Every structure is written in structure tokens, then in C-alpha cells.
Amino acid sequence: MNEQDVRSLLEIADDELVLGWRDSEWTGIAPFLEEDVAFSSIAQNEIGHARALYELVARESGTTADELAFDRSPGEYRSSILVERRLLDWEKTIARHYLYEMADAQRLDELMQSDNPEIAGLAAKIDREEAYHRMHAQMWFDRLRDEPRFTAALDELRPLLDAGRDEHSPELTELWEEMTMVRRSQPAGTKW
Amino acid sequence: MIYEVFRQERKGQPFHHAGSLEATDQTFAEAYAKEFYGRRGESEALWVVPREAIIEVEDFADELNRNYHRVDGYSLREKLKEARERAGRALVARDR
């Protein structure tokens, strides 16, 4: 695995971890019960994907998935600003979901072509679950495509796809505080 | 709209009612049905049916109480008991 591989795997892992957290913020308060269950399950999948990707990188670099996920400082994350945003409007959440899934599909397609069989294999596994996410995003897109508040949300969020990964929003730091609070409450190496 | 979901556990087995869900249209109903009743590998197939499409029948008139039309109308245990009693009486009568 070369440096570029590690870099792109971490980008995806960080995106999936942060988006998983953001999506899970809808658990219990989604617009209706059925969607609450479906969206929470998608959030859980994303965190599962992040874990698998971190594990792959961790084996290469002699660390652990948890250390990669939680022991870096916010500035070291490679996530996109798109997933960092704390979106409390459903139309914006769905707009992000749609934009993210479409971009993620392209990225996974490239990983599936990797010469490294471990990377290609994991990407294919993840893609089989993402296919369900894409279907879910597409059905919401089809439903809301003529809603002005939805198209406005798409227009607002689309530029964030190309915003780069070196700059992060203050929202990532807030999320990081929350996400690592329990872990930081104990000395490193504590077994839970 | 409410949809009723029926679940088949293994190929060839009958579908059993699994539960219901609310969805705005068929696409959403399908997605939620998969999510609720299929993602843990617990189903071979699902039937997703709008509740309105189900014809419910629950009015079964039996004014004259013709219980012999029913499975439970002929109680084998009671008939056996009667028969044993009759046989018992016959034995007593013979021994006398």
C-alpha cells in the first residue's frame, strides 16, 4: 500500500465516520418513524465502513482503528466540509446525502480498480451496501426534486464537494469534542 | 398510506404477516419493507400490500348454530366419554 492509497483510504474513512455521526443525529427525530429507522441504519453502515477502512490502514501503519478514528486532532482529519456541517433541516440533510452518495460512488469505483486486492475487495464490499444508500438517496431525490427548498439546499451544498480537505469548519472541532469525550476521559490505552 | 408486509422465511414456505408500515408511495414502501424485514437475512421474499387492497371478511352468520359444520362442532372427547359410559352400563347390566 503506497502513501497515496493510505491518503485516499483515510479520506473516505474520515468522511464516513463524520457523516455517520451527523446522520445519526436524526435518530429519534427524523420526520417519521419509518425514515428514522432507515436513516439510522444508513448512519450505522457508514460508521461500519469507516471502521473497516481504518482497520485496513491501521494494519499497514502499525496502529489501531480506534486510534485513527479518535486520537488525531481535528486538524489532522481528511474529511470534507460537506459532511462536517451540522444540518438540522431535513431537506438539507437529504441534499447532502444525495450529493455525497453520488460522489462516493465514483470514488469507490476507482478503489475497486485498485491493484491492491485488499483495497479492491473492501471497496467492493462497501459498495454493495452503498448501493442501498444510493437507492435511498435517489428515491428521496425523485420525491423532492421539484421542491424549491430542496433545490436551494442542493445549490447551497454542491460547492462544498470541491472545497478541499485541508481546511475544516469549526463544526468539525465541536463534533470532535463530542465524539472523543468519553475516550479522552480516560488515559490512553484504557480497555473498555 | 399504510402497507401490510408479509414475509417468507424460506423458499416454498407460506408467507406470514410480518407487520405494517407507513409510506408515501410504493417506492418508499418497498425500501422500508426491505429495511424492516429483510436486511438481517430473515426473509426469502416479501409481499408489500397497500392495506386498502386487502379484502377483510369477518362476518360469518351461523344463526341456527349448526355446529356440525365446524371442525370443533364434533367433540371426539365428549363422544368417547359418552360411548365409554354406555359400554360401562352395558357391562354392569351383563354382570348383574
The per-residue pLDDT for range A139-162, each reduced to its tens digit, is 999 999 999 999 999 999 999 999
Q: Over range B84-88, report the average pLDDT.
A: 90
Q: Are B29 and B23 in contact (CB under 8 A)?
A: yes
Domain coordinates of chain B in residue numbers? 2-53
Q: Are B30 and B63 in contact (CB under 8 A)?
A: no
> How many domains would you assign to chain A?
1
The alpha-carbon gap from B15 to the nearest alpha carbon of chain A, in Å, equals 22
- For B61, other C-beta atoms within 10 Å of its C-beta total 5
If pLDDT is split at 50, 70 and 90, which confidence band does B63 have?
A: confident
ipTM above 0.95, yes or no: no
Q: Are A6 and A57 in contact (CB under 8 A)?
A: yes
Domain that includes residue A108, residue range: 3-184
Do the domain assignments include residue A178? yes
Instruction: Give A-chain residues touching B36 at CB under 8 angstroms.
Output: 34, 37
Do the domain assignments include residue A121? yes
pLDDT digit string (tens) for B8-62? 999 999 999 999 999 999 999 999 999 999 988 899 999 999 999 999 999 888 7
Distance CA A126, CA A23 (A): 18
Q: Are A102 and A38 in contact (CB under 8 A)?
A: no
With an 8 Å Cβ cutoff, are B31 and A38 in contact? yes
Residue B65, chain A, CB below 8 Å: the answer is no
In the predicted structure, residue A54 carries a pLDDT above the cut 90: yes
Do the domain assignments include residue A162? yes
First CA to last CA distance, chain A: 31
Do the domain assignments include residue A34? yes
Do the domain assignments include residue A192? no
Do the domain assignments include residue A189? no
If pLDDT is split at 50, 70 and 90, which confidence band does A183 have?
A: confident
If pLDDT is split at 50, 70 and 90, which confidence band does A49 have?
A: very high
With an 8 Å Cβ cutoff, are A37 and B35 in contact? yes
Interface of A with B in 68-97 (CB under 8 A): none
| A vs B: CB pairs below 8 A | 27
CATH architecture of B2-53: Roll (3.10)
Residue A41, chain B, CB below 8 Å: the answer is yes
CATH of residue A84's domain is 1.20.1260.10
